[in-house]
Structure 1
Amino acid sequence: MTTTLNEYQLRRTGTRFGAEINGIDLRVPVSEGIRESLVRDFREHKVLVFRGQHLSPDQQVDAVRIFDEPFDHPTAVRHSENPLVYPYDVKTTGKASTWHIGGLWRNPPFSIESLVFEEVSELGGNTLWADLQAAYDDLSEPYKELLEGVSAVYDSDSRHYAQGAEKGKIETTIEHPLVRLDRNGRKGLFISSSALGLTGLPESEGRSVLAFLLSHASSPQYTIRFGWSAGDFVLWNNLATWHYAIDDYGTGPRRYRKVLAAEAS
């Protein structure tokens, strides 16, 4: 379904969430009316894809700033043209082929993650997102009550989350509630495959609940899938979705630039 909104068109890409935006050039400043419309669409659809934008590092930062304030990552490798841009090349940084949420080392985690693709394989390399709010909605009321007051534990060392970093010994941890209320007014699960365990439940019950939630939240019924071309720009609500970069392209290329957004901790 395609909807025309002022100066651009929105095409929904999933029944629950996700949309492509066409007819807008993010290389030039947008009007206040367009900005407000894009923010509303982002809060509703959670993942927005802008094809063929070919944004420079500075333009990517400006595009993210439409939605939230870009975040200065303390340990990430920075782009030479803009310190708020973080370059990745999977040949040196490795691949992140697990269901995950970014920025779990801090509180709050990143509100937004964004990518500009510079080089991609001819085939494969798609990305999946799952709607954690829809996954929460489909839980039974007794299970929702169980999750209130339960948190997941994660590694809190920001050095372990930089490009190509090797995971060292986990010495400090941080907790995030399993259920969070988003700015769009909806509750959702908040869980990542890097969770070390759960608090608020006996250990044996926590292991069972964690395994169920990881499986439930990645169910195909909650997912959307995008393939990429060089120049594509995507941003997503990192607090209401999680994502998975499919590793089916072997030794093929995959270079991209990341810009983050986050509230002050």
Structure 2
Amino acid sequence: MTAATTGASAATGDEAALDAREINPRIGTEIRADKVTLLSGDHAATLRDLLEQRGVLVFPQIGFTDDEQVAFTETLGTLATERKGEKLYNVTLDKTVNKQADYLKGSLYWHLDGTMNEVPILASLLSSKALGNEGEGDTEFCNTYAAYDDLSDEDKAAFEELRVVHSTWTTLLYYEPEPSLEMLQQMMSIGERELPLVWRHRSGRKSLVLGCTAGHVVGMDRGKSIELLVRLREWATQPQFVYRHTWSVGDLVIWDNTGTMHRATPYDPASGRLLQRTKLAGEESFA
């Protein structure tokens, strides 16, 4: 981890400064601050700017309670609730804790959240409540802004107008290559969406829209389409674009869902690994 400070706001009076340090040159910033400072909301604009520029913010062992995590999320934007209105969601493959744990099997593959939605969530916040087995259950992130920026001019021109069909059932085939017809039809009922390969953001920046929900490029030969999507996934997940977080209890990690992909590394569902998620509501449609 480097010691370069990026965008930290200056302290005035009794106000504590944010100690913001780059983790990798292309992705990730570690934030050191106390709970009072973070929950005040005084640095929300700085944190949002850092999130958009750096993709991932890490708050080591901040140890937020459930209520504090919700409150901190609300300082950064509009909290997005879960399907039944819950503010917090248990991220675990343990079915005794999360009855919908099977749906999370897709989280073991590179993806961004909300490809089935008109407006995907802006960001997710994960806090670590319990660790799994040693060496398992890390979370990886890749910066799809930086991956786009480093493409050749020739590639940028070739990809500018391409569109890709995304679906949840495409992800199903990653972890259940021979699903039952009933399971396949259930996932297909969620539908599919045609999205741009290159997302033109309101800020003027551009990012790649990829991941395990990406099925095929519209109007392209099937084989060539798969080759292109795999090539770009490999490109976007090169080491220079990736940050891998090894969890400690109490860590909080925020990532910009509009400019990163993420995945969990495999872990034993019975290991006890438990993360808790809150989400920021989306503010920008795919374009």
Q: Same fold (TM over 0.5)?
A: yes
Pick the aligned partner of 1:21 from 19, 24, 31.
31
| 1:249 to partner: Cα distance | 5.8
Q: Per-residue displacement from partner, 1:99-154 (whole Å, max 9, x unpaired)?
A: 11112120121110111111012522221111111111121212111212212222
Aligned residues of 2:81 and 2:87 also touching (Cα < 8 A): yes
Give matches, 1:52-201, under 5 Å. Answer: 52-74=61-83, 83-92=86-95, 93-94=101-102, 95=105, 96-121=107-132, 123-124=134-135, 125-155=137-167, 168-171=186-189, 172-182=191-201, 185-201=204-220
Which runs of 5 or more structure 2 residues have no equivalent in the other structure? 11-16, 96-100, 173-182
Amino acid in the other structure paired with 1:130: C
SS in 1 for 2:228: helix
Of 47-56 and 235-244, deviating more is: 47-56
Is 42-51 or 55-64 further displaced after alignment? Answer: 55-64
- Mapped partners of 2:245, 2:52: distance in 1: 19
Count how many residue pairs are aligned between Structure 1 and Structure 2. 251
For residue 242 of structure 2, what is the aligned residue in structure 1?
223
Return closer, same or farther for 1:24/1:16 CA change in 2, 3 Å cut-off. same
Distance 1:146 1:63 in 2: 41
Q: Are 2:12 and 1:5 equivalent residues in the alignment?
A: no
Greater mean deviation of Cα atoms: 223-232 or 37-46: 37-46
Identical residues among aligned pairs (%): 25
In 2, the alpha carbon distance for the partners of 1:22 and 1:122 equals 27
Distance 1:11 1:132 in 2: 21
Secondary structure class of the residue paired with 2:214 = coil
TM-score w.r.t. the length of structure 1 is 0.84
The amino acid of 2:208's aligned partner reads: L
Q: Is the 8 A contact 2:28 2:56 kept in 1?
A: yes
Q: 1:23 to 1:73 in 2, by over 3 A?
A: closer
Which ranges of structure 1 fall in alignment gaps of 5 or more residues?
A: 161-165
The RMSD of aligned alpha carbons is 2.5
Q: Which amino acid aligns with 2:188?
A: I
**One-letter identity of the residue aligned with 1:39:** R
Q: Does 1:203 align with 2:222?
A: yes
CA contact (8 A) 2:168 2:213 kept: no
